[in-house]
Amino acid sequence: MPVKPVDSSAFDEVSCGGVPVYFTDEKNQEPLYLLLLHNGPYKYWAFPKGRQNFGETYEETAIREIREETGISDFDILKRLISDSIYFPKRGAINIVKKVVFFLVRFHSQNIEISKEHVTWKWVTFEEALSMLTFEDYSRVLKESHEILKKEYLS
């Protein structure tokens, strides 16, 4: 039985971002994925993402956040991913419901200039990314991205 889509108003906060992929060869056989190590008391590997501003679409938020967090403007959005991440962080003493919408994005450069929100970055293979990602939701997002690449973009 299909699940009814959830309205964004059901979430206290929405963020959007991307799963950046870079192909190391002209035949698109060797995809690398960009992971960022987030700064703060709890460091974790994840993809570039950030909070949606009022009036922005999911895609506009993702583009802005990817640019801010990687310093890259030369990328293409390939597809919106089905796998949204939903979790329950604390804001002060209050638990909130947060949704993160991801897009698969193709970078045309590997030269990253991370924001102050991050400690470092790394281009990694699919297998390396799976072993580095801190949260299961992000592993699911990576797996969906890799399946899309295998079906639609890898020759």
- Rounded mean pLDDT, 144-149: 95
pLDDT for 144: 96
Using DSSP, state whether 90 is helix, strand or coil. Answer: strand
Contact status, residue 153 vs residue 22, Cβ threshold 8 Å? no
**68 vs 90: CA distance, rounded Å:** 24
User: Count of alpha carbons within 13 Å of 73, Cβ hemisphere only?
Assistant: 0
Is the pTM higher than 0.75? yes
Note the pLDDT tens digit of each residue in 64-98: 999 999 999 999 999 999 988 887 778 888 888 88
- Give yes or no for a contact between 98 and 90, defined as CB atoms under 8 angstroms apart: no
Architecture of domain 10-152: Alpha-Beta Complex (3.90)
Amino acid code (one letter) for 137: D
Whole-angstrom distance, CA of residue 64 vs CA of residue 51:
10
Distance CA 148, CA 151 (A): 5
- Looking at residue 53, the DSSP 8-state letter turns out to be P
Q: Of the candidates 128, 121, 119, which has an alpha carbon nearest to the alpha carbon of residue 107?
A: 121
**Higher-confidence residue: 140 or 89?**
140
Average pLDDT over residues 35-39: 95
Indicate if the pLDDT at residue 1 is higher than 50: no
